[in-house]
Chains A and B, each alone.
Chain A
Amino acid sequence: MSTHVRSESTRSLTRRGIDWGSSLGTAISMAATVFILLILFVILGNVVIHGLPQLSWRFVSTVPKKDFFDKDSAAVLPMIIGTSIRVLVMTVFVIPIGVTTAIYLTEYARSTSWYTRIIRAAISNLAGVPSIVFGLFGAGFFVHLIGGGIDDMMGTTSPKWGKPALIWASLTLAVMTLPVVIVATEESLRAITPGLREASLALGATKLQTILRIVLPNALPGILTGGILAVSRAAGEVAPILFTGAAYFLADLPHSLSDQFMDLGYHTYILASQAPNIEKARPILYGTVFVLLLLTFSLNAVAIFARARIRRRMRSGH
């Protein structure tokens, strides 16, 4: 009853001719990769070559004089501190809020209900808002409304919170990077095998216990990835901090969250657009950009290292 399919394998196994399709596909993919790496090396190489000579211990550890377009008066310590603090404060706000939102969306919310869909639409739209709009939002909402409101409540005569400040810039950045953290966290929550949640519940755990003891610890690497992405994006952003906390020049280092701060990215913009002598300012410009890249890489390196350690511990079962 069974039909025999006459097999075609009467010819030999040796390949005959070249598979042009595959070769072309491989070649195009490789070319694209090389192209991207090339661009990366050109940009980074350019910064390193021109920025490295500018680096000195004095450059990174002292405060600049008022006329910082001059090689001898330029220094970036306040900018390093300003950028670092605003990124760290942003992280303190964006990670808890982003992770909690992601947990709500994956573990609690019913995916079909209308308010869940509104939340998801809001997150997508938030991700598409131009940076300058965040800057304006931050100025209006955080600086004037909330900051001014705090000042009114405390009855201060001269504005303490109702003016551009570290805290407002950090919060504005936190709002801006929320979508990144939420999406990265959601991805890692979804990647957890559903069997684990079932196992936990079947042992008599509540949903909250399951989330805190099983789900979150396993999602930690993904959450850190979200943090890394947020930090990378925020460290270089200038528009959101323009009206919310960055200053052209400050004589002192920032002491509290209500102080303004100088910033590496903003300083780069100032050097590039307002220098009286661009030839003299160019080396300082490269030096500043180099320090910014170094800072971003360092912040990321710490987070990547922490993530690798957590992943290793997870694999070996603590």
Chain B
Amino acid sequence: MLETRNLELFYGTSRALKGISIGIRENLVTAFIGPSGCGKSTFLRCFNRMNDLIDGVRITGECRVGGEDIYAKEVDVIELRKRVGMVFQRSNPFPKSIFDNIAYGLRLQGIKSRSEIEGIVEQSLRGAAIWEEVKDRLHQSALGLSGGQQQRLCIARAIAIRPQVLLMDEPASALDPIATGKVEDLIVELKKDFTIVIVTHNMQQATRISDYTAFFYIGELVEYDQTTKIFTNPAKKQTEDYVTGRFG
């Protein structure tokens, strides 16, 4: 589903990502792990071209979504972002009602029918395991929700436009353990319909929810394999040192 070959990223002249080649499988959860600053979030953001927003960023190598090179000149970035959705570390609901938050992406696509929007809103909120909690206050401000609820709302907002891929950048790191648990259960459910890539600091989380894990270190992809193998019998010593907590 997602594929890179020798991808390199430069901030000006300094190289942040070095020669990364990876193939991410469909309808699975893939975790990116590694110490702070190793480039996992930067790499994640290559897949929906959110790095374009930063001045002076340059990318070489290949990066494909569903077989298509997303950095080709003819690519419509807007369409790409509809296909590859993102959930951020700090939940960022719009200062609008819960309903309008979900409907935002739908209205962008030109969907006008009220009943159609209502249907998709309910479906997305159910899909994000938050419908029961908010169904009676859909038109109240999203900012009145708790942190965990806001994050699940952002997930609902992202899946409402039916992307193929969900990129999640440490989605539970700002949440308490109970809310984290809910988000993790949600992610395992969601992989039936989406390809999920999650960046996480929390190795226990990676073992709990991911099928494949990629270990990054200072801008390089050190090892990529099934999660069970990475955490029980890694091939590289560096990986072993990290997952056993000897550093990072």
Contact = CB atoms under 8 A, between A and B. Distances in A.
B108 A198 contact: no
A214 B81 contact: no
A38 interface: no
Given A316-B141, A317-B100, A198 B88 contact: yes
Contact of B154 (A199, A205, A314, A317): A199
Contacts of B93: 199
Contact of A203 (B53, B100, B161): B161
Given A203-B104, A205-B108, A318-B100, A195 B92 contact: yes
B82 interface: yes
Nearest to B141: A317
Contacts of A317: 95-98, 100, 139-144
A213 B97 contact: no
Nearest to B107: A213
A202 B141 contact: no
Interface in A179-237: 193, 195-196, 198-206, 209, 213-214, 218
B79 interface: yes
Contacts of B105: 203-204
Contacts of A110: 55
Contacts of A315: 95, 141, 143
B213 interface: no
Contacts of B142: 317
Contacts of B158: 202-203
Interface string B13-28: 0000000000000000
A206 B86 CA distance: 16
Contacts of B140: 316-317
B115 interface: no
Contacts of B97: 317-318
B139 A204 contact: no
Contacts of A195: 88, 90, 92
A281 B13 CA distance: 74
Nearest to B160: A203
Interface residues of B, number: 34
A198 B104 CA distance: 14
Contact of B108 (A193, A203, A316): A203
A198 B94 contact: no
Contact of A199 (B48, B78, B92, B100): B92
B171 interface: no
A203 B144 CA distance: 22
Given A193-B92, A315-B141, A318-B97, A200 B79 contact: no
Nearest to A203: B105
A241 B171 CA distance: 58
Nearest to A213: B104
Contacts of A218: 95
B152 interface: no
A245 B92 CA distance: 50
A198 B158 CA distance: 12
Given A110-B55, A315-B141, A203 B81 contact: yes
Given A204-B105, A204-B109, A317-B140, A196 B92 contact: yes
Contacts of A209: 108
Nearest to B92: A195
A185 to B, nearest CB: 18
B85 interface: yes
B114 to A, nearest CB: 16
A202 B94 contact: no
A204 B55 CA distance: 20
Contacts of B82: 203-204
B1 interface: no
23 contacts: A110-B55, A195-B90, A196-B95, A198-B53, A198-B88, A198-B92, A201-B81, A202-B48, A202-B50, A202-B81, A202-B86, A203-B157, A204-B81, A204-B82, A204-B105, A209-B108, A218-B95, A316-B141, A317-B95, A317-B97, A317-B139, A317-B142, A317-B143
Given A203-B161, A204-B105, A318-B96, 15 more contacts: A110-B55, A193-B92, A195-B88, A196-B92, A199-B93, A202-B88, A203-B85, A203-B104, A203-B157, A203-B158, A206-B78, A213-B104, A214-B94, A315-B141, A317-B98
Interface of B: 48, 50, 53, 55, 78-79, 81-82, 85-86, 88, 90, 92-98, 100, 104-105, 108-109, 139-144, 154, 157-158, 161
Interface of A: 110, 193, 195-196, 198-206, 209, 213-214, 218, 314-318
